[in-house]
Structure 1
Amino acid sequence: MDVTLRHLQYLLAVADQGSVKAAAQACHVSPSSVSLALDDLERALGAQVTIRSRRSGTVLTPAGRQAVGRARRILGEVDELVTSSQSLQTEHVGTLRLGCPINLSVWLLPRLLDRFSRDYPQVQVRLSEGGPHAIQEQLVDGALDAAFIQRSQTWRELDTTPIVPLHVYAVLWQGHPLAVRDTVSLVDLKDEPAILIGYEPAMSNARAMFRAAGVEPWIRWTGENVEMVRSLVARRLGYSLMVGRPLGGSSYEGLPLIHRRLKESATDNFVDIATPRNLTRTKVTEALISVCQQEFSPLAPPTEYSDRQA
């Protein structure tokens, strides 16, 4: 028995929906059709890919998880083939599935998407935000085409291209005694309250920097909303540590903020674009990398927003 694209489509539907019934509804077929397709697929592969239960739904086996990752890549390449074959105007068409960790998205994505959407208007970008572990899992499974990842956190199963150096900044309120310096140290801040980003890996990275500096931080608050943390700092309630720095120097409330390079910030860390290893990059992915290298070059000024009339 041969494996067909329909078999793979039904397998992905079951993996995404969590049950045969839900997968059947998503595919507009009967549950028996999905079940028969899974049976045929398992016979063709010689391995059980799902455990099906009326009570608990459908669970993927280890062989099933591996099959799902490969199926996503195969169907993605088929979609790319169909899209490129249908297009007579340009090769830069279709969908780009782009992932980005939450702590990087606030300063990377707006600038990138503004430029990319103007340069390649026929490409639809689908965004996925989350932690670096979840983002890289999606890459390995074939659910994403590319993602921004810190080099220090990149898995070996991925190919990477450097985009921009990554620095950590101390965020201070205007008038802070250390704001007159070009750089500050965690030792200088050891007796002051810290207001830190609470989600991972930001918190783990911050604690590692404190340990390396021999500083026991006074953590006053943690928060997962970056703008809330910045607003607390602007109100002189503490300092914070953040990756990257915004061009604007004010909080959400309009209060001024100062960003100073942290001395303990690693000098060899980068934001990279990661793609699945051993998978040929599409024209769209190559275009994404090219735009990033141009837009985030140390010599490139930030693209300014302007009203673009039709």
Structure 2
Amino acid sequence: MHLSMRALSYIVATADAGSVSGSAKQMNVSQPSISAAIAQIEATIGTALFVRHHARGMTTTAAGQRFINEARILLTHARDFARSAEALTSEVSGEVTVGSFVTLATRFMPGILAEFARRMPGIAINLEEGNQQDIIEGVTSGRLELAMAYAYAVPEEVVGEHLAELPPYVLVSSEHPLAERGEISLKEIGHEPFILLDLPFSRDYFFNLFMACGIEPRVAYRSRSPELIRGLVGHGCGYTVHNALPGTNLSYDGRKIIALKITERPAPVHVVTLRLRRQNVRPAVQLFADFMREAFQPNGLFPLKF
């Protein structure tokens, strides 16, 4: 069986674009070239990769999605091999596509990316942000070779390696009557308006946190944006619970926010790197994974003395 890298790249591009016309534009080739590549590979492997929808593009079949996941991995290794062959040096080079849970990306990725680029200029990191569900789907599909996320709802096919533990804190406006306390019980503040980070799995985590204390939070606002939530807190619209505390106590629009320890001492969340268990770890990926682990050591970028 012969499957060309070019044809595989056309098929992956079609899956990403959702249409032959979109992938042709992305790859800068004619639509017949894309269609011919799809037809050839479908004939070679004896199964349909796509379902054609009249005027609505294309979606992958179950077999097609598995094929495309494997094709992504193969294409990534092929690109890395080509770069290594061109360089013919001992220096590791290439591109690594990394995912990060959005709140972790905001807090930690700027420092990680800047320092890694200084140390390893030959490795380019392509960063994708998302919620926990986005990140896990990216890893299982092979689109993300490595990710930083929480150890929550991680499937068996994904390997998680520990980076850090982040305890939850209550965030209130500096003008809140209890802002000077330093510590607060969820039962004490549970009757006040709560501002929820409304992301898949995240909302379950927060509701379980309150449930463990016998509290039903009064959700006043929901948002997928951590910065919007901090802004609402800064303006006194309610309180929130947050784990990845930023390096500043100011909201995006300059309002002061206070982080309070929680008296009940809820269990911390575990921050991990995620990778697909069956995927071989390329040298560039391993270097970035090692660097992230180093960043959370006591003498690293983030000693996490919150």
Which amino acid in 2 is paired with 1:277?
R
1:182 CA displacement: 4.8
Match of 2:43 in 1: 43
Over 3 Å counting, the alpha-carbon distance change for 1:10 and 1:150 in structure 2 is: same
Unaligned runs of 5+ in 1: 304-310
- How does 1:217-232 map onto structure 2 within 5 Å? 217-232=217-232
Are the equivalent residues in 1 in contact too, given 2:174–2:256 (CA < 8 A)?
A: yes
Over 3 Å counting, the alpha-carbon distance change for 1:268 and 1:155 in structure 2 is: farther
2:64 matches 1:61: no
Instruction: Please give the root-mean-square deviation of Cα atoms over the aligned residues, in Å.
Output: 2.2
Percent of residue pairs identical:
26
- How does 1:19-168 map onto structure 2 within 5 Å? 19-168=19-168
Match of 1:286 in 2: 286
State the distance in 2 between where 1:251 and 1:13 align. 39
Are the equivalent residues in 2 in contact too, given 1:115–1:291 (CA < 8 A)?
A: no
Over 3 Å counting, the alpha-carbon distance change for 1:135 and 1:301 in structure 2 is: closer
Over 3 Å counting, the alpha-carbon distance change for 1:277 and 1:226 in structure 2 is: same
Which amino acid in 1 is paired with 2:29?
V
Over 3 Å counting, the alpha-carbon distance change for 1:236 and 1:38 in structure 2 is: closer
1:255 CA displacement: 3.1
Unaligned runs of 5+ in 2: none
State the distance in 2 between where 1:137 and 1:225 align. 20
State the distance in 1 between where 2:225 and 2:172 align. 17
Which amino acid in 2 is paired with 1:127?
L
Which amino acid in 2 is paired with 1:241?
V
Over 3 Å counting, the alpha-carbon distance change for 1:296 and 1:276 in structure 2 is: same
State the distance in 2 between where 1:232 and 1:175 align. 13
Over 3 Å counting, the alpha-carbon distance change for 1:6 and 1:250 in structure 2 is: closer
1:30 CA displacement: 2.9
Deviations 1:90-147 (A, max 9, x none): 5332111111122322112122112212111222221111121122111111111111
1:153 CA displacement: 2.7
SS of the residue 1:95 aligns to:
strand
1:40 CA displacement: 1.8
2:274 matches 1:274: yes
1:181 CA displacement: 4.5
Deviations 1:188-240 (A, max 9, x none): 21222222223333322211211221112222222333223223322333211
Are the equivalent residues in 2 in contact too, given 1:91–1:283 (CA < 8 A)?
A: no
- How does 1:239-278 map onto structure 2 within 5 Å? 239-264=239-264, 266-267=266-267, 269-278=269-278
Deviations 1:63-90 (A, max 9, x none): 1111000000011111111112222445
State the distance in 2 between where 1:191 and 1:59 align. 47
Deviations 1:160-187 (A, max 9, x none): 2111112211112225454445543211
Match of 2:10 in 1: 10
TM-score, structure 2 length as denominator? 0.90
Are the equivalent residues in 2 in contact too, given 1:103–1:202 (CA < 8 A)?
A: no
